[in-house]
Amino acid sequence: MRRRVVITGMGWVTPLGSDLDTVWQAMLKGTSAVRPTELFDAATFPTTFSAQVQNFDLEKFLGADYDRHRNASRNTRFALAAAKLAWQNAGLDKLPALDKTRTGVYLGCGEGPIDFEHFAITAIGAWSIEKNDLDMPKWADLAYQILDPIRELEQDPNMASGHIAALFGLEGPCFNTLTACAASTQAIGEATCQIRRGDVDVIVSGGAHTMIHPLGVTGFNRLTALSMRNDACQSASRPFDRTRDGFVLGEGAGIVILEELEHATKRGARILAEVVGFGSTADAFRITDIHEDGRGGTAAMRTALADAGLQPQDVHYINAHGTGTQENDKIETRAIHRVFGEHAKNVPVSSIKSMMGHLIAAAGAVELITCILAIRDKIVPPTINYSQPDPNCDLDYVPNVARKAAVSVALSNSFGFGGQNDTIIVKEFSA
């Protein structure tokens, strides 16, 4: 028999805040975290707004441990804070003994943005001012002198995993996956598999990302993926609505503590939910587009249901990838119809990206925590800014107002650039 995997702790850093229940209540009220971008001067960009984490101070989360992590990049800082919250939420900070050789880290994190900008903008700016020529050897020499090696190192996507392992002294496996918008869902799914097969007993898993910087916004604008409702930014993220025109860029982190059931029970842990199903597939299509029939997402959901030993009618809530782009929402709806059949119109489907934007690599982990809270409180969050139905998107998207629902099983989808599709299913714990 495969070992059962439960979730015993969770924490997040989001554009709506970092306190678990404060953020949850804000979501249930349909609060938008979108505002004009403040992390850089975006006035001349096609999109001038985003969903930013506000007033973030890592030292408040880490206390005396802060000095060891003070050079971490912004996304790693989010991961550290969310991990500390999840660790405390699981009661691991009060555990007298933990076999840290059997405790690992598995994250889905993106690259850090600040240091790349430091290198590119500082070096090129200094070269253009001081050299004013095209002497590339001289430019390279100047860049070498300017580059801060620690700040450049902290840009690497695996740094968050390393920092978290160091923070808690974890000596088990330490991984990072970067599969775009599916990364943290994939990380949690693969971490679950590690515990199931007996590699470890506990894993800190989830993801973190920020792409709210000039290169990130420029790239997504050039892909025509971002909303450009600059005159009404708080209603710009409108998944499944007929007038949707792209997603809103967000940032943050979500972390869960995954634990083998017997290990959790022996230490008297509070069990929040059980991970019962995981599916991962590739579209094998175009790098920037989902296959039009939703074959990858369909396969991921079916694989997750089979892994969980569940039928479609057993699912009570779907937390959609729901980005707010024309193609994603239409094709995800199509995939849900293919998997759930007649039940598709009976199951509530919502997208919290309507409130806090798209957290890219961190999105899946934050959305999984949302599913756990929906199971806990028997209520599902709304899809806000929904006003005009789209005939291509004909499911129950819980428009604008949260809804009480008997949720015991929740499914969460994450689809990423490159054709990555990941689905994870959690259920209310029962011994």
Tokens 């000039």 locate to 214
Comparing C-alpha atoms, which of 427, 105, 397, 407 is closest to residue 257?
105
The DSSP secondary structure of 155-219, one letter per residue, reads TSTTHHHHHHHHHHT--S-EEE---GGGHHHHHHHHHHHHHHTTS-SEEEEEEEEE--SHHHHHH
Rg from Cα positions in the chain: 21
What single letter denotes the amino acid at residue 36?
P
Is-contact 10 20, C-beta < 8 A? yes
Tokens 């599709």 locate to 421
Name the 3-class secondary structure at 38: coil
Q: How far apart are CA 87 and CA 11, in angstroms?
A: 8
Question: Catalytic: 321?
Answer: yes
Question: Catalytic: 233?
Answer: no
Q: Strands 273-282 and 420-427: what pairing? A: antiparallel
The H-or-E segment that residue 348 falls in is none
Q: Strands 103-109 and 174-176: what pairing? A: parallel
Which candidate in 174, 358, 371, 393 is catalytic? Answer: 358
Question: Catalytic: 181?
Answer: yes
Which candidate in 181, 233, 371, 393 is catalytic? Answer: 181
What does the block give as tokens for 344? 């598709």
Is-contact 219 116, C-beta < 8 A? no
Which candidate in 163, 209, 213, 321 is catalytic? Answer: 321
Q: How far apart are CA 323 and CA 362, in angstroms?
A: 14
- Other Cβ atoms less than 10 A from the Cβ of 123: the count is 18
Q: In the chain, what is the straight-line distance between the N-terminal and C-terminal CA atoms, in Å?
A: 15
- Other Cβ atoms less than 10 A from the Cβ of 284: the count is 9
Q: How far apart are CA 166 and CA 162, in angstroms?
A: 6
> How does DSSP classify residue 389?
B
Residues carrying an active site annotation: 181, 321, 358
